[in-house]
Amino acid sequence: MKIATWNVNSVAARLPRLTSWLADAQPDVVLIQETKSTDDRFPVGAIADAGYAAAHYGQGQWNGVAILSRVGVTDVQRGFGDDDPEARIIGATCGGVRVYSCYVPNGRSLDDPHYRYKLDWLGRLGELAAARSAGPFILGGDFNVAPTDLDCWDPASFVGATHVSEPERAAVRAIESTGLVDVIRELHPGEPAFSWWDYRGGAFHQNHGLRIDLLLVDEALGRRATAGYVDRDARKGDKPSDHAPVVAEFDAV
């Protein structure tokens, strides 16, 4: 099974790139973030033409998450099941695996109320992971956190900023402590493997990036991982997302 996560930064703007990538990469399941689409405008037809069923949770020009699958989409869960006002998490069962696509709040700055919202949101994500049922489980998406200094091109330039603060990193470690493995880091312990690069200042060409897009999997599934990588080619060319897909492959589930 091949699983990917990708913040597309607007599914409408990136639809031709998305469908082309699906045809080339042939993933079984793709976790999508920042669709910037309402449910009724999400391109279900174009995605079906590419061979994928889709479940989407959106709210318009901000946020939005989706799951694309060619191995089935059942038992869809949108949101945490309460009054969270933002469309940031969706779950489904695909080919016998429980998967969640999440778009963690940015946080903006350490003194912004959105930073507290981010930490609270990560805490709730940890509760969801801890309460999961037995069986294969994948929690992937744009976490807006670089888990360690290795995941940041220049840690000194981010001191005092979001994405690298200790409370954020501790929140991600708490999620992992429920029995989840960061599959890319597990397979490549010394490789930065950046997944996001600013559009400005030639950041991509200089590889000035962050690894903020994660695939966390249960330990049993982690032992069956055969490959994990960032598809940098998808960040090249005309009008790309500022994120690249992160891909993991597993022995048959």
pLDDT in tens, 127-162: 999 999 999 999 999 999 999 999 999 999 999 999
CATH at 12 = 3.60.10.10
Known catalytic membership, residue 142: yes
Q: Which range marks the domain in which residue 32 is found?
A: 2-250
- pLDDT at residue number 84: 82
Choosing from 28, 142, 151, 218, the catalytic residue is 142
pLDDT reported for residue 36: 98
Q: How far is Cα of residue 28 from the mean position of the Cα atoms in its chain? A: 15
Q: 72-99 pLDDT, tens per residue?
A: 999 999 999 877 889 999 999 999 999 9
Neighbours of 129 (CB within 10 A): 20
Who has greater pLDDT, 60 or 71?
Answer: 71
* Options 52, 57, 100, 103, the catalytic residue: 103
49 catalytic? Reply is no
pLDDT value, residue 198: 97
- Tell me the backbone φ, ψ of residue 217, rounded to 5 degrees: -130, 155
How many alpha carbons fall within 13 Å on the CB side of residue 74? Answer: 6
Name the domain count of the chain: 1
Angle between helices 113-130 and 166-176 (to 10 degrees): 10
